[in-house]
Amino acid sequence: MRSIELFTGAGGLALGLERAGFETIALFERDADACATLKHNRPAWNIRRSDVCEVDFSSLGPVDLVAGGPPCQPFSMGGKARGHQDHRDMFPQAVRAVRELRPAAFMFENVRGLLRDAFANYVEFIRLQLTYPDFPVSDNVDWDANLRRLQRHHSSTRSLSELSYKVTINLADAADYGVPQRRHRVFFVGFRRDIDSGWSFPSPTHDRSLLLRSQRVTGNYWREHGIAPQAASQGGHAKSQAWQTAELPLGLNRWRTVRDALCDLPDPRIGRRFHDHVFQPGARAYPGHTGSPLDEPSKALKAGDHGVPGGENMMRFPDESVRYFTLREAARIQTFPDDYRFISSWSESMRQLGNAVPVELARVVAQSIAARLRPIPSSKSHAKA
């Protein structure tokens, strides 16, 4: 199955697509440092450093999937949240890629902030554009006027030959899918209407209550890490009758923690140092920025304009001391493989990691899409009327 990816960044989504069985024939990224990371790790990938606004996507087809993460700053909780008024809003280019390539499916991801009430109408505008990518959006009126035009089109009788997609908007917490991090992402997933996909967003594979039970009741979590079960008291947890008798979900694994992800790495302050795993001084906690507890999934890694925002991307030990994650530790929290190297400065590499899609979350979603596309050969790509 063939795919292209827009706004590739450090390659988290690309690695997930690779693991799901997609052959990504072109990856587009304009940032030079991110391109250097991609080329260093996957020299065989067709990485194109370019502005997607200038790309003729129709020359790349046919493809089965168009994927990407349009820049999240216009919608991020930590940004100015200007949405459609932000020149970095690249959803129109994502729609154009779908229109020109007419893939069997697409997958675009973004931040949870996109689902805030303030953006509700604009999200509906995005959804309807992705549903009807051939619909002529006018440059002579505001986006909300175009939204009303699309809504009228959606409620009218439409041609059966019209290119259209069945689009769903899905919110996922990466911790529910085996990522040792509380990272909420929104996925726009669409299947072309001539494909009877029967797709739904993947069900969670991991569960918080199972982690809490293993820590507070059975003590198995502590034994797994060679720590006496009574060490649970370090986190202020006490066994309770409620936890002992609670009905637990079947067929799921417990959430993974920072300790789970990093337990076999040496302490960079005293142990053997190696590339990507070097102690970075200067971490300090202050109100609202207290680091990620060692025995919980990490807080979401963040990316500032120039690397790490103050007080973020730190681990917090049981004695309340903190230190910054090394690059290798941050990469593990984002489920990048250990042989995937980050070759830029610490701050630039942390920026790339803070913007990345967790590889495992990308794989889970992409694999669920691939399972519905495998019977659909590329040669059946929707022909233009």
Active-site entry in 35, 53, 72, 263: 72
Q: Please give the single-letter amino acid code of residue 259.
A: R
Count of C-beta atoms within a 10 Å radius of residue 250: 6
**CA 299-305-311 angle, 5° bins:** 40
Judge contact between 306 and 317, C-beta under 8 A. Answer: no
Q: Please give the single-letter amino acid code of residue 289.
A: H
Residue 228 burial by Cβ neighbours in a 10 Å radius (0-12, 13-18, 19+): exposed
Rounded CA gap, 36 and 60, in Å? 23
Cα 126 from chain centroid? 18
72 is catalytic: yes
Q: Minimal CA–CA distance to 118: which of 85, 95, 156, 142?
A: 85
Rounded CA gap, 329 and 183, in Å? 16
Q: Please give the single-letter amino acid code of residue 361.
A: L
Task: Tell me the catalytic residues.
Answer: 72
